[in-house]
Structure 1
Amino acid sequence: MSSTAHDPQINRTTIYVSLGLAVLLVLGVLVGARVYFNRVALQPVAMTELPAPDAQTPECAQLIDDLPATLAGLKRAELAEPAPAGAAAWQASSTERITLRCGVDAPAQYTPYASTEDADGTRWLQVNDLTPGSSLATWYTVDRSPILAVTADVTQLADGIPPLSALPTGTLTGPAPQQRPAPLADLAPAGDAGTCDALIAAAPDSIADGYTRVDARSPHTVAWSAPGQDAIVLRCGVAAPENYGPGARLDQVNGIPWFEDVKLANGTTASTWYAMGRDVQVAASLPQVESNEAITNLTNLVAEHTAEQ
């Protein structure tokens, strides 16, 4: 009987010891994880050399000196040697990171149709990384030089808003960069102007998700832009595509064959498509990621306002 009387006390002691060990194990894991992530955050950030012709200017050197110690909650990180000129980074881990480069070239997406934004008096252009699965974006200053580029993961930013206002862009006092030519602006004109007038007038305000119509800069042209993306542009009354010939691949979309000129502009994801077999030649500049939805809507527009040849 005496042995049975002591059983509850023995069981409680075992439970207390087990709980104590479990708590110590959890604390050990948390401390170890904190130490690990702190070490990762303190690791120098490796940044490769990229085209940055103005990186060694006095303006870029001053900007690097004036950068804040923290940005969007991330601490300024040391750069691994050899560190490129005009570069900086902030990080909390190997995946939570913001990088900056001063003195870079203007992106190919900076055209008259670019969708820009203002942050405390500085004009920026967002360019999304279109690598599958990537949520990175880069913002470029487009109202001053040297040009500043800031890259971040938009999913890690509060409300998706980049910390552009915290950057000392006032040290960059050079002229704004030149815009690249508008897509399709270099195509030779041809065809019936009357047919094109009707087609352009009927173009919708939106052509794909996130794309809204903007003022066109070329005759018989309509354009749509979206933040971070290449513009979608349609031009009516152009010469036949030079690269089209026997054996060329055609893609049928709702009864209209399209020829894609796969030569992409340097630094963009856009290619030029031609609607074939119509009474007037129509061309479209389409980003690769938006081709399906946009070309379907453009096909319906072309089919309704041009005739089969």
Structure 2
Amino acid sequence: MVRNITRALLVFAVLCSSFGLSAKSYITGGLGLQFDLGSLGDTIATDGLDASGSYATTDSTGTQGGVLPRRAIIPENRLLSLQHTTNGLISAKTSGAMTGLTLSLGYEHDFGKAFFWRANAHYTRKVAGGETDAKFLGQNFYDITWDYHALQVPFNVGIKLSVTEDTSFYIGAGVHYFNGGWSLAGSNRLNDVHNAVVNALVAGGQTLAEAKSSTIAGLLADGTDPSANYEKTTFQVSGFAPNWLIGAQSRISDKGHIYMEVETLFSFKYGIGHPRSQGGIEGLAPSVAYPQVLGGNQYRFGYKHEI
């Protein structure tokens, strides 16, 4: 899809040049980074994601103390707490929020004394973060991998102000088309570990109520029931949304300029995903609605060539 858009932009640039436009026109290309993809950083690191089911809490006498929600997604700080609470019986590898690499291609045209318009295509893919793994006695019981991709095609109009003969600052705003989403894949077998720990404590001489009310069992009690095995849920959305940008460019040759910019894209829409595992279906729903935040700040640098 990016290749087709690139060809369309090149054709459009040639057509504009053939109309005898005297102002400067550029073909642009750049690379950038986008952090906290999907605004999922808090979900991954500290919040997790509640399941639709719940479990009963008990004290050491066996008295029920209430109910708490189960977790479809276990936050990474909980897994790290388990690692240190169990003296390494449970180990965890965490990587935090997702970071994406953005490839940008486009066409830009100056008009008037200080104005410009441009059309771009930005493609973002996850390159780091979003991977969580936990083991009990060396056996994997929790592994979740998040993924993300997004295509944005913005059209912007703005103002460009020269600071020196070769350097300009610019700011613009517009609207963009977006298409993409995120997915998660893996397993959540925390409930199986909870049952194994309770059974081991009972075998060691504790009553069932004492075993269930122990600190370690309590930290393990909120996994999905049944366990979610080999889950893969994907969300995909598309639509239109506003955006704005600010940047600077500087000439490095007769026809070449380098630029640095930040673009904020307000891409948002609710998406529908369909869990595949029994634990995912019973723990969430056969069809799950979740907000898809494809927007955010993209920090880019690149090259503009006058045509």
TM bin (shorter chain):
under 0.3
Task: Choose between structure 1 and 2: higher strand proportion.
Answer: 2
Mark the structure with the bigger radius of gyration: 1
Query: What TM-score comes out, normalization by structure 2 length?
Result: 0.23
Query: Which fold has the larger relative contact order, with Cα–Cα distance below 8 Å and residues 6 or more apart in sequence?
Result: 2
Task: Choose between structure 1 and 2: higher helix proportion.
Answer: 1
